[in-house]
Structure 1
Amino acid sequence: MTTAIARATSCIGWLSAAALFGALAACTPSQDDAAETDAPAQVETGGEADFAHQSSDLPVDPAVRYGRLDNGMRYAILQNDTPSNTAVLRMAFNAGSLNEADDQRGLAHFLEHMAFNGSENVPEGEMIRLLERYGLEFGPDTNAGTNREYVIYMLNLPDTNDELVDTGLMILRETASNLTLDADAIDRERNVILSEERFRNTPIRRWNNALTEFRYPGALVVDRDAIGIPEVIETAPRERFVDYYENFYTPERAMFVVVGDIDPDQIEALIETHFGDWEQPEDPREDPVPGEVVADRGFETGYFHDPEIFTIMTIDAIRPGEREADTAATRFENGLHALGNAILERRLDSIINSGTSPLIQANVGYSQGEYDFATRAGILGVSQPERWTEALAILEQELRRAREFGFTQGELNEQVSNMRTALQNAAAQAATRENSDLAGGIWSSWRYDNVFGTPAAALERFNSRVDEMTLEAVEAAFREQWDGVEPQVFLATSLQIDNPEAAITAAWEDSVGTPVEAMEDAGAGEFAYTDFGTPGDIAQQAEVEDLGLTRVVFENGVRVTLKPTDFEDDVIRVSVRFGRGELEPRENGEVVDTIASAIFQSSGLGQHSADELQRVLAGRSVGGGFAVGEDSFYLGGSTTPADFQLQMQLMAAYLTDPGWRPEGLAQYRAVAPEIRRNLRSSPSGMLQLAVSRLLRSGDNRYGYPTPEEVAAVEIDEARAFLAPALERSPIEITVVGDIDIDAALDAIASTFGAIPERDGSWPDFDENRTATFPAATTEPVILRHNGQDYQSMVNVYWPTVDDSDTHRSRVIRMLRQVFDLKLTERLREAEGFTYSAFNSNYESVAYPGFGYLWVGVDIRPENADAVYNAIEELAADLRNGEIDDDEMQRARQPLLEQIEDAMESNGTWLGWLDGSFDDPSRLENIRSITEDYSSITRDEIVEAARTWLDPEAEFRVTILPNEAQ
């Protein structure tokens, strides 16, 4: 029920490098976490526990208590208090879709759903309700996931009182062996699974499956995509569910993890109480062979075509290879691999940053023991479709350049510096890692036979062997990945290519014939923005004691709010707010704000290109982003106390000397058509592409820009849009985290405090504060997507109001919560129309009277009328007051628990405090939030439903497949 989404960033190479060295074999998540010292593992119960640290020279985190029950179930317990008074429970099974028979394809995932649909002690439909009463929200706090190799169940407990902890363990014990798997319940869930398959059937998923088949022809992994196949989902009898459940949900395959503000002794006793009677089968089923690498495979090409796919090319070197034991030696070798790959990826990033390359994105990686039978070195590139041959040539030639000539010392120094910084930060921040991150590291370490160590130990290993990370060692490790096997080249594209094998081969051979030369060392350089003039003086300073704030105004008008916290060790979060955002006037092109937001940072600074900044700032914990909000512009970033001064220098440099280089716009123009193509490939994508503009009656400040709009905006227009606010508008800075007040003020005084005086006020641009909700629809507006012909989505929008009345907005939020409960229970659980019923509320901060409440449902096209009718019936129920006390509790309690957690979140405080000089009521909103939500009555929600869920005001949008399909 969960899905992972990978997002590429400019720092992905060195972050991956550090994670690999500090933690793991290459293709698994980072695991080297936890406390400060190394010690033997605590394995005190149940005999031989068979954890990786017992046979490794790597020290395990001594704070984790490991054990195994007599029935074979393993467990790990870690006391941790971030967030305080909370805990997370994880139960993982070392079995996934690979363990299915042919007539069970999809049942591992289907079983995951059935865990929420009835057991011996929890009737069907009651488990989610039970947890909601305690404050667990379905999805964020109560969830599960399945892939080829494992199943994982997840409960995030918002409190650690005895009753809730015991209930959480009871529910997971029910999942372990007490599911009823009622045949009627299975039948009711079939359409939900089919809806999830429909929702996830995207071009990227189909490409990924085709790529797996190309890489590993004939392997079992090819035919075991976790979602399964419709024939099995629709028809599999109960007996096949029971067969999988009894054979693979077994104690020997299970790992139970508890991390949180708990007493380990108490938790260990509860684990024994709840799980001690779980019996291991006498004749447990073995794992299947997942596949093998095809021997003596020569150079091969593959091709995947879809009209809506990105143009993606991969180059792989694949050889046999089981997962290696997790030792200090293998981690060091993986670190060498990661450094070389990071250097090559950095070279490709530099080419992309030039603005003239056909490449849009590139990643380089190494997986040792993929699916436990293959070791793979790989390069992935995304390009403009019509220039794919050029892009493939760049990848081939840069790979060959690295293999033939190696790297420069400057390149290696940059990546080693980045690796060192990442490991230092991890060690400094270890004590305040969140429960969910720690639990994820522990259970996945078990699953992939890795040692869960400490960041301090990882840093110590790095420091002890960094001198061995020589150019020669890194180059040798890089060549080892690629030597001795022929490359496999796979192209996915929206272009229809005649005889693709010949075309790809010809493009490859043409590139191979092009000579390459050694790379010259570009040098690191120094950051040019360290002197902004005489540090500014403070004109006003005040304390807001109940909220723990220091409020400062500098003589030049710059306003600052600082909140020291202990929520995240060694982390500081910063926001710089200025101007009026999308309200600012624009001379040409309503979409200039969207484009300015996209290109502002990629255009670099006056003295440094974006590419140069990566070299200059190597090894420093600085960075961030730029955004155009409804009523302001934002610079945001995260740093450490040691680098806070540099962070403020960088942000001040962006404010005073943005680069506005043409390569930023060129990159955006290259990627924009591909983003648009991808968005058109699914109903949810079309929602993002077009609906926000529809909801504002065609206002083209909203929605994704059309190709014509992108082409019409030039750099000078983006510069003109931002220039007045950058140069003169009032500035408000918010700083939250591990800060020393005096040191932070000194850093701000020497940067933002030193710039010329800002205007004391800024226009409200009332003439631009118009947003008009469209007229109600008698028939839905029809949009068309280019995805599968059985994918559709219905959407209902009700106009509401702006956020000028905080209590009113909170009542609408509670109305949405209750609506969500009813939508899930009817459209998913009772009628099986959908896997996903979405809803949200939005009240504008900038446009008077503008807001809306939205319900969206992913469906089959033929079900549109029935689902619209169901939504209207549920809205009518709310207007008629059909809300019981149980629904009130299940709607309110998760919100209150989220608020309690938010009180210990630097990111949340940053958002709450941002803009509080312009709008002091934001401080009062913080003070009142818990009491206000607690006070909202059923009558208020019913009145809100009668006011805002007006059937005569509905705006409906149906997203259907393209008629040409």
Structure 2
Amino acid sequence: MFPDIRGLRRPLFAFAAGLAMAMAPFGAANALQGEGFAQDRSDIAADPAVRYGQLDNGLRYAILQNDTPPDTASIRMAFNVGSMVEEDDQRGLAHFIEHMAFNGSENVPEGEMVALLERYGLQFGPDTNAGTSREYVVYQLDMPEVDDETIDTGLFIMRETASNLTLDIDAIDRERDIILSEERLRNTPVRRWSNALMEFRYPDSLVAQRDAIGIPEVIQTAPREAFARYYDEFYRPDRAMLVIVGDIDVDRVEAEIADVYADWAASGNPAGPPVAGSVDPDRGFETGYFHDPDFFTVLTVESVQPDTIEEDTMASRFDGLLDSLATGIVSRRMSTIISSGTSPLIQGGANFSTEEYGFAARANILAVAQPDRWEEGLAVVEQELRRALEHGFTQSELDEQLTNLRTALETSVEQADTRVSSSLSDALWSSWRFNQVFGHPVDALARYNEYEDDITVEAVHAAFRDQWAGNGPLVFLATSLEIDNAEARIADVWNESAQTAVDAMEDVEIAAWAYEDFGTPGEVVERTEIDDLGVTRLVFDNGVRVSLKQTDFENDVIRMTMTFGRGDLEPRNEAVVDTVASSVFTSGGLEAHSFDDLGRILAGRNVGGSFSVNAGSFSMSGSTTPADLELQFQLFAAYMTAPGYRPESLAQFRASLPELRRNLGSTPGGVRTRDISRMLRSGDQRFGFPTQDEADDVDLDDVRAFLTPALESAPIEITVVGDFEEQAVIDAIAATIGALPDRAEDWPEYDDNRILEFPEATETPIVLTHNGGDDQALVNVYWPTTDDSDVHVSRTIRLMRAVLALKLTERLREGEAFTYSASSSNVESFYHPDYGYLYVGADVRVENIDPVYEAIGLIAADMVNGEITDDEMLRARRPLLEQIQNAFESNGVWLGWLSQSFEYPERLDRIRTITDDYSDITLEEIVVIARTYLSADTAYRVTVVPAAAE
């Protein structure tokens, strides 16, 4: 990962991402505290482009015309209730009813809703989905077309969900095992830790007892009456918000909403929000402990105080700004400590949330530590918290935050007209849920300009002290270690640390950017126009090749990728050096600047990106704006010519790896991710996650030896897509990458390193073990296929897999309720001759392993025997074609399509033929491909079972 100045993202494995649920701010538990919308009670300007309304029955709606991407629309229906309003005999039913929305209504029979939407081009999952939390339920449809029939169908489906579900007891009974399968899938160390932390944070509260997934006893036995009671009481129009954003006629959509929803009559009582919990302001210093042998070591320090729901105003937004600046500075300090390479911490940051569940405000510092150094880590957290509370912040720290904030706001203004409809629709219903005004980026920048003079280090310090003025501190340790008298030991460590004096932070002098001159700018010596694709191709005099495509898909956004060398095909001293290089190259910084220094030097600039070791190439990728285009290429050129290879980057990687591997071993899916990729390549160590010993064998000299030849000499190909002036891009490349010494005209193919061997078929599945729940297992079937040399064959395999996925879902989930989710994928290698595979798998109960293998075999046999209907072909092909249509409006997709197209010019023809090719694939071709590859005699089967069950 390059230093992304817009967030200074770390280049380590992001294994703590799942912990975000405990850090996330939760809004008001009920958005009905006032009539109408938040802007009706606020001095903040609402986005004037949004059409708001409320029907006589109380249903609120918001409609916004937006044409990114064109000819699409996003529909959301949200209810401001979730699992927190469940009674004891309903625990889990808010989520269960979300499932029942796809299982029969008055006008759509059970099993037909998903199929109906697939015929309109929606794919189950990405386009047709729903979610439930403690506080809300939301249904989403991303419509691939905006003709009247398609939009009307979306509104009809949402109305069926809102008031016409049949909740048939037979359908409920068929869904129970699917819900239990999802509960098993989510029964991870992260979820168990989150629930334990919630109970410690809010003891004896309703919110701690209402995990949305529910409890197995209720899921297994709840009668229809319990479902109907929840549905009737809470699926009310006055608790709902309907949002439609897209390339639509706002007047027509508004009229259709009135026509479809006006007769939705509420039943039950308009119950207010539940008493979710309370805060004991007199609660003092307490410690808590959670042990799981497969969990990270996580330190959480919090202070909680009573809070109430307030209106969204200029004053409250200013308070929130000060809060975010304070936590941003503390998080930045922790990042600096971690980047030293000697810290006991691996990741960490601060957060503050208000109106949490409608009754609390919570200050929080969360850090992931090396297990055997948790005491040191807790001392670091205690001292950094105390340093901030006692001494506050420096002007340079605040300036860095403000510079980044202003850039983000100004960039949002420039890009406002090409915001994506799905993101806007989510933001609109979320604003309603949080009782916030949905504004325009122009107004957000104007507010900041009004606030700016009042933002001082003193004001930010005061805000931080106010955050921590609640109870506690509440210190919670989660770890894989078993600790005797853990709570007392945690308290001792905290109190011992508190005896250490802390000094004020000193201002840091910011160095000047050292990489502006790369020599005499290069010159373009060859130019070619590819008119039908809108692509310009250039060759510089040093051999650098460039593909340019100007688009208007994203205002002021320029995306680029630079490929060179052969990536994982390159020779190496140590087997897993490619994995290590991917993780440490950019975090090693540059010769003149550490990675941490880059965050200060480049503050407020839209530069960043990633470095990858890919199959067939190394790559640097990033995105920027026209104003920072040259700096982005300077950053690329600096990493090409002066990488830092600092030892702290390797130390961070080595420290993170044991925690990552431990956590992956806690679930069947984690084991698949960790181990099976290498198994599918007959043990080739370039693939899969390295062991600790393998990683420890790699030093920075190995990384340098692996990368240097390609960095210095390999041919370079740059692809740039987006909103740019052509000459500005040419000038930026000429002064940076184009100024480098001449590149080689070609590069070794390393043919021996291209050979991959698919493993021999397994009549009896290979068994791997995980350390998670004793009712969790994973069935995996892989069929060897072919490479990507014949794109028509690859596309036929992809469409065959889409049909196969329909059959898997209908049988394994809807028919037999074996699994919450049947998964599938296909790989045809572009770089490894004759290598590819088709995968299907399912999370199942241990006792269902054999029946699921049998069912997969029968489904494959159906495919081989040609038992495929025209309707299945339509439902598989139509969503795929809609995805392709949208892809032509995506900068990111074009970037991938054009990358390396100089070296592999056939990629251009693939762009030209993709729509017609997928449209013309016949059922007969699908059957031929199925008969070629879906043979039981070639299948490689791997089962992941609980360690205790082996």
Match of 1:769 in 2: 754
Given that residues 43 and 314 in structure 2 are in contact (C-alpha distance below 8 angstroms), is that contact kept between their aligned partners in structure 1? yes
The DSSP-based 3-state class of the residue aligned with 1:963 is helix
Distance (whole Å) between structure 2 residues aligned to residue 524 and residue 476 of structure 1: 26
Matched, 1:442 2:406: no
Match of 2:383 in 1: 397
Given that residues 5 and 607 in structure 2 are in contact (C-alpha distance below 8 angstroms), is that contact kept between their aligned partners in structure 1? no
For residue 681 of structure 2, what is the amino acid of its counterpart?
A: R
Matched, 1:660 2:645: yes
For residue 776 of structure 2, what is the amino acid of its counterpart?
A: Q
Q: Could you give the per-residue CA deviations for residues 634-691 of structure 1, whole angstroms, max 9, x where no partner exists?
A: 1010111111110000011111111111011000000000000010000000001000
- Quote the offset at 1:286 in angstroms: 2.9
Matched, 1:725 2:723: no
Matched, 1:317 2:303: yes
Taking structure 1 as reference, are residues 359 and 594 closer, same or farther at Cα in structure 2, changes over 3 Å only? same
Match of 2:25 in 1: 27
Given that residues 280 and 471 in structure 2 are in contact (C-alpha distance below 8 angstroms), is that contact kept between their aligned partners in structure 1? no
- Quote the offset at 1:133 in angstroms: 0.6
Matched, 1:807 2:805: no
Q: Could you give the per-residue CA deviations for residues 98-129 of structure 1, whole angstroms, max 9, x where no partner exists?
A: 11000000000000000000001000000100
Distance (whole Å) between structure 2 residues aligned to residue 671 and residue 215 of structure 1: 27
The DSSP-based 3-state class of the residue aligned with 1:582 is coil
Matched, 1:515 2:501: yes
For residue 357 of structure 1, what is the amino acid of its counterpart?
A: S
Pick the aligned partner of 1:112 from 98, 102, 106.
98
Given that residues 115 and 175 in structure 1 are in contact (C-alpha distance below 8 angstroms), is that contact kept between their aligned partners in structure 2? yes
- Quote the offset at 1:767 in angstroms: 1.3
For residue 124 of structure 2, what is the amino acid of its counterpart?
A: F
Matched, 1:943 2:943: no
Pick the aligned partner of 1:222 from 185, 190, 208.
208
Taking structure 1 as reference, are residues 9 and 214 closer, same or farther at Cα in structure 2, changes over 3 Å only? farther
Match of 2:545 in 1: 559
Q: 1:536-547 counterparts in 2 under 5 A?
A: 536-547=522-533
Matched, 1:619 2:604: yes
Match of 1:44 in 2: none
The DSSP-based 3-state class of the residue aligned with 2:768 is strand
Taking structure 1 as reference, are residues 435 and 422 closer, same or farther at Cα in structure 2, changes over 3 Å only? same
Given that residues 78 and 260 in structure 1 are in contact (C-alpha distance below 8 angstroms), is that contact kept between their aligned partners in structure 2? yes
Distance (whole Å) between structure 1 residues aligned to residue 258 and residue 885 of structure 2: 31
Match of 1:72 in 2: 58
Match of 1:817 in 2: 802
- Quote the offset at 1:26 in angstroms: 8.7
Distance (whole Å) between structure 2 residues aligned to residue 337 and residue 111 of structure 1: 38
- Quote the offset at 1:778 in angstroms: 1.7
Pick the aligned partner of 1:643 from 628, 634, 643.
628
Distance (whole Å) between structure 2 residues aligned to residue 955 and residue 348 of structure 1: 46
Q: Could you give the per-residue CA deviations for residues 930-963 of structure 1, whole angstroms, max 9, x where no partner exists?
A: 0000000000000000001111000000000012
For residue 614 of structure 2, what is the amino acid of its counterpart?
A: G
Distance (whole Å) between structure 2 residues aligned to residue 69 and residue 807 of structure 1: 52
Pick the aligned partner of 1:367 from 353, 368, 382.
353
Match of 2:418 in 1: 432
- Quote the offset at 1:90 in angstroms: 0.4
The DSSP-based 3-state class of the residue aligned with 1:208 is helix
Distance (whole Å) between structure 1 residues aligned to residue 27 and residue 124 of structure 2: 25
Matched, 1:298 2:296: no
Q: Which consecutive unaligned segments of at least 5 residues does structure 1 have?
A: 1-7, 16-24, 31-47
Match of 2:741 in 1: 756
For residue 777 of structure 2, what is the amino acid of its counterpart?
A: S
Pick the aligned partner of 1:843 from 799, 806, 828.
828
Pick the aligned partner of 1:857 from 802, 819, 842.
842
Given that residues 13 and 345 in structure 1 are in contact (C-alpha distance below 8 angstroms), is that contact kept between their aligned partners in structure 2? no
Q: Could you give the per-residue CA deviations for residues 685-739 of structure 1, whole angstroms, max 9, x where no partner exists?
A: 0001000110011111111001110111100001100110000000000001111
User: Between the two proteins, what is the percent identity of the paired residues?
Assistant: 61
Match of 1:891 in 2: 876
Match of 2:592 in 1: 607
Given that residues 144 and 152 in structure 1 are in contact (C-alpha distance below 8 angstroms), is that contact kept between their aligned partners in structure 2? yes
Which of structure 1's runs of 4+ aligned residues deviate more than 4 A?
A: 8-15
Taking structure 1 as reference, are residues 600 and 629 closer, same or farther at Cα in structure 2, changes over 3 Å only? same
Given that residues 4 and 609 in structure 2 are in contact (C-alpha distance below 8 angstroms), is that contact kept between their aligned partners in structure 1? no
Given that residues 6 and 404 in structure 2 are in contact (C-alpha distance below 8 angstroms), is that contact kept between their aligned partners in structure 1? no
Distance (whole Å) between structure 1 residues aligned to residue 310 and residue 474 of structure 2: 24
Matched, 1:921 2:906: yes
Taking structure 1 as reference, are residues 398 and 282 closer, same or farther at Cα in structure 2, changes over 3 Å only? closer
- Quote the offset at 1:281 in angstroms: 2.7
Match of 1:747 in 2: 732
Distance (whole Å) between structure 1 residues aligned to residue 688 and residue 77 of structure 2: 41
- Quote the offset at 1:323 in angstroms: 2.7
* Stretch deviating more after TM superposition (467-476 or 867-876): 467-476
Match of 2:482 in 1: 496
- Quote the offset at 1:29 in angstroms: 9.1
Distance (whole Å) between structure 2 residues aligned to residue 439 and residue 171 of structure 1: 17
* Stretch deviating more after TM superposition (456-465 or 229-238): 456-465
Match of 1:831 in 2: 816
Q: 1:411-426 counterparts in 2 under 5 A?
A: 411-426=397-412
Match of 2:116 in 1: 130
Given that residues 5 and 608 in structure 2 are in contact (C-alpha distance below 8 angstroms), is that contact kept between their aligned partners in structure 1? no
Q: Could you give the per-residue CA deviations for residues 413-456 of structure 1, whole angstroms, max 9, x where no partner exists?
A: 11110111111111111110000110011101111100000111
Match of 1:184 in 2: 170
The DSSP-based 3-state class of the residue aligned with 1:492 is strand
- Quote the offset at 1:483 in angstroms: 2.9
The DSSP-based 3-state class of the residue aligned with 2:623 is strand
Pick the aligned partner of 1:238 from 218, 224, 228.
224
Q: Could you give the per-residue CA deviations for residues 173-221 of structure 1, whole angstroms, max 9, x where no partner exists?
A: 1111111111000000000000000001110011001001100001100
Given that residues 122 and 128 in structure 2 are in contact (C-alpha distance below 8 angstroms), is that contact kept between their aligned partners in structure 1? yes
Taking structure 1 as reference, are residues 471 and 399 closer, same or farther at Cα in structure 2, changes over 3 Å only? same
Match of 2:340 in 1: 354
Distance (whole Å) between structure 1 residues aligned to residue 196 and residue 469 of structure 2: 25
Distance (whole Å) between structure 1 residues aligned to residue 566 and residue 50 of structure 2: 50
Q: 1:868-907 counterparts in 2 under 5 A?
A: 868-907=853-892
Distance (whole Å) between structure 2 residues aligned to residue 9 and residue 922 of structure 1: 30
Q: Could you give the per-residue CA deviations for residues 143-166 of structure 1, whole angstroms, max 9, x where no partner exists?
A: 000000000000000000111111
Match of 2:17 in 1: none
Distance (whole Å) between structure 1 residues aligned to residue 296 and residue 487 of structure 2: 19
Match of 1:3 in 2: none
RMSD of aligned residue pairs (Cα, Å) = 1.5
Given that residues 572 and 736 in structure 1 are in contact (C-alpha distance below 8 angstroms), is that contact kept between their aligned partners in structure 2? yes
User: How many residues align structurally?
Assistant: 931
- Quote the offset at 1:13 in angstroms: 8.0
Distance (whole Å) between structure 2 residues aligned to residue 799 and residue 630 of structure 1: 19
Match of 2:149 in 1: 163
The DSSP-based 3-state class of the residue aligned with 2:289 is strand
Matched, 1:89 2:75: yes
Match of 1:408 in 2: 394
Distance (whole Å) between structure 2 residues aligned to residue 573 and residue 506 of structure 1: 51
Match of 2:782 in 1: 797
Q: Which consecutive unaligned segments of at least 5 residues does structure 2 have?
A: 11-22, 29-33
Distance (whole Å) between structure 1 residues aligned to residue 426 and residue 411 of structure 2: 19
Matched, 1:63 2:56: no
The DSSP-based 3-state class of the residue aligned with 1:826 is helix
The DSSP-based 3-state class of the residue aligned with 1:125 is coil
Given that residues 780 and 839 in structure 2 are in contact (C-alpha distance below 8 angstroms), is that contact kept between their aligned partners in structure 1? yes
Given that residues 233 and 268 in structure 2 are in contact (C-alpha distance below 8 angstroms), is that contact kept between their aligned partners in structure 1? no
Taking structure 1 as reference, are residues 9 and 113 closer, same or farther at Cα in structure 2, changes over 3 Å only? farther
Given that residues 536 and 750 in structure 1 are in contact (C-alpha distance below 8 angstroms), is that contact kept between their aligned partners in structure 2? yes
Distance (whole Å) between structure 1 residues aligned to residue 949 and residue 355 of structure 2: 44
Given that residues 324 and 368 in structure 1 are in contact (C-alpha distance below 8 angstroms), is that contact kept between their aligned partners in structure 2? no
Distance (whole Å) between structure 1 residues aligned to residue 83 and residue 745 of structure 2: 63
- Quote the offset at 1:888 in angstroms: 0.4
